[in-house]
Amino acid sequence: MTLVLILFFVFLLAGMPVAFAIGIAGFAFFLQESYLPLTMPVQLILSETQAFALLAIPMFVFAGNLMNETGITKRLMEFASVLTGHMHGGIAQVSVVLSTLMGGVSGSAIADASMQSRILGPSMTARGYARGYSAAVNGFTGLITIAIPPSIGLVLYGSIGEVSVGRLLAGGMVPGLLMALAFGTTVSITARKKGYMPEREKRAPAKDVGRTFMSSIWAMLFPIFLLVTLRGGLLVPSEAGAMAAVYAVVVGALIYREMDWKGFWRATKASVGDTGTIMLLIALSALVSYAIKWEMIPQTLSGFLLGISDNPTVITAVILLFLLFFGMFMDSTVMILLLTSILVPVIKTLGINPVFFGVVMVLSCAIGLLTPPVGISMYSVCSIMECSVGEYLREGWPFLVAVLLVVVLLVLFPQLVLFLPNLLFG
Amino acid sequence: FAAKYTLRFNHVLGPNHPYHAGLEKWAERVKERTNGELEILVFHSAQLGVEEDILEQMRQGVPVGQNTDSARMGNYIPEIAVMNAPYFVDSIEEVIKVNDLPVVQEWKQRLADEFGFQVLSIQWVQGFRHFMTNKPISKPADLAGQRIRTAPAPIWQESVRALGATPIAMNFGEMYTAIQQGAIEGAELVYDNIFDQSLHEVLDYVNETGHFLLINFEVISAQWFKSLPEEYQKILVEECDRAGLEVSYQIQENTEALKKRVAEAGMTIHTDIDIAAFKEAGLAAYEKMGLLEVRDMIYEQLGKVN
Amino acid sequence: MDFLKKAYKFIIEWEERLAGITLVASVLVVMAGAVGRIIGYPLGWSMDMATFLFAWTVFFAADAAWRDNKHVSLDILVRLLPKRAQLIVHMCNHVIIGIFLALLIRYGISMSWITRFRTYQGIPGFSYTWATITVPIGSTLLLITAVLKLRDLIAEYRAARADTVDPKQSIQG
Ligand code: NA
Ligand code: NA
């Protein structure tokens, strides 16, 4: 197992694609344990593709890409700017609201951050916003997307940890809105200080709000549609994902009439790319996951954590600090893939609710996407905004503080996470 | 210090199921009798992987084991599925007798020689399965149009269909919400499952059809088994049978107490059932799966009248 | 050589298409399964058919994504090295990945043979081997990509070396 870890980090730092780094390191475990045949890695890799629950991931990704082809983004943007144009730091507020609204369509923080840096970034720079500030706003608000359903991270956690995905998705809703509130407040304070002026003097007329609201309602209904179909087991998450894809086609082709065969194929191609990257990572990490179980590491860790304290809040805090620390160096998907099967049994013995824990765990892992030295979202927004990491950090630290405060709030009041799933699922 | 031989044993049930304690007991006794040389690590909740994958690993000599059932073994020797057909046996004592039959010994031998599965014990009995629904079921016709959750293997599906219901394959954990939402009308289960899944909240009736007495198989890799000293092989089998019978009787005893709790929780235990009619209907499953002949042969060897 | 080039072009064109088609097909199968169950006509085969199709999606898509350089990697450390050292590290990576894929092909073929009697539970008579072979086939596609990437890296390395010797002879671009 030590060899596996060493190889993983060596390959990772040598710039090998993460999926191969983890796959080859895991393969080494089977070379090392002579009684395990080398056909087993093949079997384990394949098994990941044969888990019906994991199909929810490509389905949600596909639905999101199809939704993008309906021209929904520009409608949502219009609505967001009508809502927030009169506030200080108007476009930055648009980014907050847009991430919240897009959250129901996209399940990836990285995609959301880079997309909004591209579409909002140039106008922010033109209005005199510091590049680092725009990078930070677009980057951090992407985190809202992973909490509001659908969420790839929560589907992964639920499938691996055998926790109800429906409850997890519902559990992400309130934290997502809390983050929107926290980031909105942060923008208000920082924009006033920096003198980023509102876009217009007064609130937009109710008529405009109504019109833009109606024109983007189909995207906003999307997460609600998901939760309603998942509620009470009418559909399982993979089926809800398939229905969502069909929903997007119906909205695009029949309601907005903007989707044609070309657009459909573009969405399919984009989904093939997304599925290929995430599924190769998931499939190849099965080898290390197996090694972890074979060596009974969760059982050992459980004993260790119980030795620290038996207070659920303390243990949750310890685990989250650990996740935040490792998140600085590791990819969030890899962390969810490897750590869920270790941590879920542990927190269950400690009486920590696995739905609550899933939401805070996935969020904590994702914060690492925005922090140096290794943060994919951070690098992508910085490269799009053409700013240095130093500049990004100087402007962006209030947003980091805001999201950490949200995590602290959730840990202290787990009901914020559990309220909605309990209401919907009983 | 590490044991000389280590077996990793996987099962799909939760850590609180009596089977888990039973398997741990088995592991403990084997370790004791082999002076710590042979260690069994038990993995609950299918932590080591899905059943089919584990079975394939066994065939390749990986030191793993799995709690499985006759329906699964029926994929390799189709006749074995008969043990999972409606009303095949009536009691744990009968299971013990079945275990000693020459034909069953022959199946075990074939599973080891041809497929690489060493069956350690078939004396792990989970108890009678009953239809649990929201209306009283007295005869097969009452099940018409009722969508009933069952396991996906063909013999399960055909049996539930033969008994009059529409079989639905669905994950165990999804049952509660599926019933609540009306995606299915009920399930066929043992008493243990009711509180485990809080089904008393969504279902009104336990109809004591007792259509299956669920026999489990404890299977490990034959190749690895053969690599053990003969003495250890004997210990492994003896202790597995012993722990299995203990658990089976314990579950049987617990059922009486459970019934009381189920009734207190508001479910009606419906016992006015035309078992003869269900037995008659169940024959269709034997016919469909081509298992009538083997059933008659076993009944003859048992001296059992149907 | 010309034939090989054409064959490869054909493969990469169809690889993405097949990944897309199997993805769309699994969406439809999953939806049919859900609708069927709700209206009381459950399809026993829908879950297994969906995951079977998905196995093909995954391996075709994984290769298509690698050819587009979409797989995430961490190169902040490698970038600190001089250009030629960077290229050597990348070449090593691709050789190691190549060996790994070759092993997956070798043992994937064995595994496909072993699973030939295993059938999908919900689709009686349909061999699991049709899913198992996605591993050796997908690994073959990935291996081709690895070899081609390695070839490009070697060419780049040579060019970089030529660069340092005589800048005029550079063939980069
Ligand atoms: Na944003
Ligand atoms: Na989302």
Please name the member of A47, A234, A293 whose beta carbon is closest to the beta carbon of B181: A234
Task: Say how many Å lie between the CA of residue A168 and the centre of ligand 2.
Answer: 12
Q: Looking at residue A308, what is its pLDDT?
A: 85
Dihedral sign computed on CA atoms, order A175, A178, A184, A185: negative
> With an 8 Å Cβ cutoff, are C37 and B75 in contact?
no
> With an 8 Å Cβ cutoff, are C23 and A242 in contact?
no
Residue B24 amino acid letter: E
Point out the least confidently predicted range of A79-83, B289-293, B302-306. B302-306
Instruction: Assess A43–B contact: CB distance below 8 Å, yes or no.
Output: yes
Task: Say how many Å lie between the CA of residue A147 and the centre of ligand 2.
Answer: 6
To the nearest whole angstrom, how far is the Cα of C11 from the nearest Cα of chain A? 16
Task: Say how many Å lie between the CA of residue A61 and the centre of ligand 2.
Answer: 10
> With an 8 Å Cβ cutoff, are C71 and A42 in contact?
no
Which residue of A43, A163, A230, A425 is the best one to mutate when testing the B interface, meaning the one whose CB has the most B CBs within 10 A?
A43
Instruction: Assess A239–C contact: CB distance below 8 Å, yes or no.
Output: yes
> With an 8 Å Cβ cutoff, are B60 and A162 in contact?
no
Q: Identify whether the C-beta of residue A332 lies closer than 8 Å to the C-beta of residue A340.
A: no
Instruction: Assess B157–C contact: CB distance below 8 Å, yes or no.
Output: yes
Which residue has better confidence, B104 or B14? B104
Burial of residue A262, with CB atoms counted within 10 A of its CB: 0-12 exposed, 13-18 middle, 19 or more buried: exposed
Which residue has better confidence, A109 or B20? B20
Which residues fall within 8 angstroms of residue B196, CB to CB, at 6 or more apart? B14, B17
Predicted confidence band of residue A233 (pLDDT cuts 50, 70, 90): low
Residue A405 amino acid letter: L
Task: Say how many Å lie between the CA of residue A360 and the centre of ligand 1.
Answer: 20
Residues of C in contact with B147 (CB under 8 A): 40, 42
> With an 8 Å Cβ cutoff, are A47 and B50 in contact?
yes
What digits encode the pLDDT tens for the residues C13-56? 899 999 999 999 999 999 999 998 888 787 878 989 999 999 99
d(CA A382, CA C33): 44
Task: Say how many Å lie between the CA of residue C69 and the centre of ligand 1.
Answer: 26
Please name the member of C57, C60, C111 whose beta carbon is closest to the beta carbon of A58: C57
Task: Say how many Å lie between the CA of residue A119 and the centre of ligand 1.
Answer: 10
Measured from the alpha carbon of residue A381, the closest ligand is 1
Predicted confidence band of residue A362 (pLDDT cuts 50, 70, 90): very high
Q: Check whether B228 has a pLDDT greater than 90.
A: yes
Question: Of A225, A311, C40, which is closest to residue B184 (Cα–Cα)?
Answer: C40
Question: Of A72, A21, A400, which is closest to residue A247 (Cα–Cα)?
Answer: A72
Task: Say how many Å lie between the CA of residue C21 and the centre of ligand 2.
Answer: 25
Residues of B in contact with A43 (CB under 8 A): 53, 56-57
What digits encode the pLDDT tens for the residues A167-188? 999 999 999 999 999 999 999 9
- The C-alpha angle B53, C122, B80, rounded to 5 degrees, equals 70
Residue A398 amino acid letter: P
Q: Looking at residue B274, what is its pLDDT?
A: 96
Predicted confidence band of residue C173 (pLDDT cuts 50, 70, 90): very low
Please name the member of A11, A52, A277 whose beta carbon is closest to the beta carbon of C47: A52
**What are B64's strand-pairing partners?**
B8
Task: Say how many Å lie between the CA of residue A378 and the centre of ligand 1.
Answer: 13
Question: Of C114, C124, C126, which is closest to residue C55 (Cα–Cα)?
Answer: C126
What digits encode the pLDDT tens for the residues C123-164? 878 999 999 999 999 999 999 999 999 999 999 999 988 776
Q: Check whether A210 has a pLDDT greater than 60.
A: yes
d(CA A210, CA A82): 10
To the nearest whole angstrom, how far is the Cα of A46 from the nearest Cα of chain B? 10
d(CA C144, CA C126): 30
Which residues fall within 8 angstroms of residue C150, CB to CB, at 6 or more apart? C91, C94, C95, C98
> With an 8 Å Cβ cutoff, are C58 and A16 in contact?
no
Please name the member of A36, A233, A236 whose beta carbon is closest to the beta carbon of B62: A36
> With an 8 Å Cβ cutoff, are A296 and B62 in contact?
no
Q: Looking at residue C170, what is its pLDDT?
A: 41
Whole-model pTM: value is 0.86
To the nearest whole angstrom, how far is the Cα of A23 from the nearest Cα of chain C? 9
Measured from the alpha carbon of residue A244, the closest ligand is 2
Dihedral-angle region of residue A195 (phi above 0 means left; psi in -120 to 50 means alpha; beta otherwise): left
Residues of C in contact with B75 (CB under 8 A): 117-119
Looking at residue C1, the DSSP 8-state letter turns out to be -
Dihedral sign computed on CA atoms, order B256, B259, B263, B265: positive
Task: Say how many Å lie between the CA of residue A137 and the centre of ligand 1.
Answer: 7
Looking at residue A66, the DSSP 8-state letter turns out to be H
Helix (H) or strand (E) holding B124: strand B117-133
Measured from the alpha carbon of residue A105, the closest ligand is 2
Predicted confidence band of residue B94 (pLDDT cuts 50, 70, 90): very high
**Residue B276 burial (CB count, 10 A):** 9
Predicted confidence band of residue C166 (pLDDT cuts 50, 70, 90): low
d(CA B66, CA B87): 25
Measured from the alpha carbon of residue A102, the closest ligand is 2
d(CA B232, CA A397): 63
d(CA A137, CA A131): 10
Residues of C in contact with B152 (CB under 8 A): 44, 121-122
Q: Quick check: bond before A150 cis, omega within 30?
A: yes
What digits encode the pLDDT tens for the residues C67-82? 999 898 888 889 899 9
Q: Looking at residue B306, what is its pLDDT?
A: 61
Residues of A in contact with C24 (CB under 8 A): 268
Task: Say how many Å lie between the CA of residue B197 and the centre of ligand 1.
Answer: 41
- The C-alpha angle B52, B55, B56, rounded to 5 degrees, equals 90
Residue A382 to residues A110, A135, A234, A326, A392, Cα–Cα distance (Å)? 12, 6, 43, 21, 7
In B140-248, DSSP assigns E strands to 147-150, 166-169, 186-189, 205-221
Please name the member of C26, C72, C131 whose beta carbon is closest to the beta carbon of A55: C26
> With an 8 Å Cβ cutoff, are C44 and B157 in contact?
yes
d(CA C31, CA C35): 6
Task: Say how many Å lie between the CA of residue A176 and the centre of ligand 2.
Answer: 9
Q: Looking at residue A232, what is its pLDDT?
A: 63
Point out the least confidently predicted range of A27-31, A236-240, A422-426, B210-214. A422-426
d(CA A204, CA A187): 19
> With an 8 Å Cβ cutoff, are C134 and A46 in contact?
yes
Helix (H, G, I), strand (E, B) or coil at B265: coil
Q: Check whether C169 has a pLDDT greater than 60.
A: no
Q: Check whether A152 has a pLDDT greater than 60.
A: yes
Q: Looking at residue A378, what is its pLDDT?
A: 92
Predicted confidence band of residue C172 (pLDDT cuts 50, 70, 90): very low
Measured from the alpha carbon of residue A73, the closest ligand is 1
This complex has an ipTM of 0.84
Residues of B in contact with C121 (CB under 8 A): 152-154, 169
- Domain ranges across chain C: 2-164
Dihedral-angle region of residue A128 (phi above 0 means left; psi in -120 to 50 means alpha; beta otherwise): left
Predicted confidence band of residue B1 (pLDDT cuts 50, 70, 90): low
Burial of residue C4, with CB atoms counted within 10 A of its CB: 0-12 exposed, 13-18 middle, 19 or more buried: exposed
Instruction: Assess A38–C contact: CB distance below 8 Å, yes or no.
Output: yes
Residues of B in contact with C110 (CB under 8 A): none
Please give the backbone phi and psi of residue B264, each rounded to the nearest 5 degrees, phi first: -65, -30
d(CA B256, CA C100): 57
Which of the other chains make 3 or more beta carbon contacts under 8 angstroms with chain A?
A: B, C
Point out the least confidently predicted range of A27-31, A230-234, A311-315, B286-290. A230-234
Angle between helices A18-32 and A39-49 (to 10 degrees): 140
Average pLDDT, chain A: 90
Residues of B in contact with C47 (CB under 8 A): 169
Looking at residue A205, the DSSP 8-state letter turns out to be P
